[in-house]
Structure 1
Amino acid sequence: MPDPTSEQQADTSREGIDPDVPPSGAGCVECLEAGGWWVHLRRCAQCGHIGCCDTSPSQHATAHHRETGHPVITSFEPGEDWFWDFPSGQGFLGPRLADPQSHPVDQPVPGPAGAVPADWRDHLH
């Protein structure tokens, strides 16, 4: 996903963003329930659902968008602050959301610890 440039202003009025909703946890909700794993994590900017990225085997963040219609995700990776608008297919800078801003820094990527197969690269999209 394209990173917006630092010169862009944060879009604080976009529909589908609730800055007061905390994330649903420290990992992909569905992967944790099913014993799966992810490459990177994404956060729904409307409800806080944490899902795995489209490179991950299960692509739960995009599935969440399709199931709910929630239009915006943001990275849940340390040091990343981009947002993605599904309907427009564009990245942008958004407002600061409720903490935490990312999964724990000591959480491995891919993760979670102990669930990632040795041949994980063979399962990427």
Structure 2
Amino acid sequence: MATCDHLTHWLENPPVLSPRIQGCEECLAVGDTWVHLRICLTCGHVGCCESSKNKHASKHAHSRGHPLVQSFEPGETWIWCYIDQAILRGDRKLYTQVSPS
């Protein structure tokens, strides 16, 4: 099985976060659109995905050093680590080198 200390720590100590907003914070501020949403598991920032033209979730993660995001889409439960390129899916198994859209 793959390893990722960030995801392992999250599994042992899951934070209780509330999203600050129900859309991409930066896109809403400038009147832009997005494809899918991601929530930062460090601070609750909501940003748009890699398929969106602005990619605010990954920009936030890299600029703030917040490695984990979770899908903020209904019915999706996976968590992605930008640093280790690892994903924790609903089966709670870790997989590496699989980039989320």
- Pair 1:80 & 2:80 matched: no
Cα shift readout 1:89-122 (whole Å, capped 9, x = no counterpart): 010148xxxxxxxxxxxxxxxxxxxxxxxxxxxx
2:67 to 71, 79, 89: 71
2:20 to 16, 21, 24: 24
| Bigger radius of gyration | 1
Shift of 1:82: 0.1
- 1:104 match: none
- Between the two proteins, the alignment pairs up a number of residues equal to 84
Q: Which protein has the bigger strand share?
A: 2
Q: Which protein has the bigger helix share?
A: 2
Secondary structure of residue in 2 paired with 1:14 = helix
In the superposition, the TM-score normalised over structure 1's length comes to: 0.61
| Unmatched tracts of structure 2, length 5 or more | 1-6, 91-100
2:86 to 63, 83, 90: 90
- 1:118 match: none
Work out which structure has the larger RCO, using CA pairs closer than 8 Å and 6 or more positions apart in sequence: 1
- What is the one-letter code of the residue matched to 1:65? A
Which runs of structure 1 show a deviation greater than 4 angstroms over 4 or more consecutive aligned residues?
A: none
Secondary structure of residue in 2 paired with 1:21 = coil
Secondary structure of residue in 2 paired with 1:57 = coil
Identity %: 44
- What is the one-letter code of the residue matched to 2:53? P
Secondary structure of residue in 2 paired with 1:13 = helix
- Pair 1:59 & 2:55 matched: yes
| Unmatched tracts of structure 1, length 5 or more | 1-10, 95-124
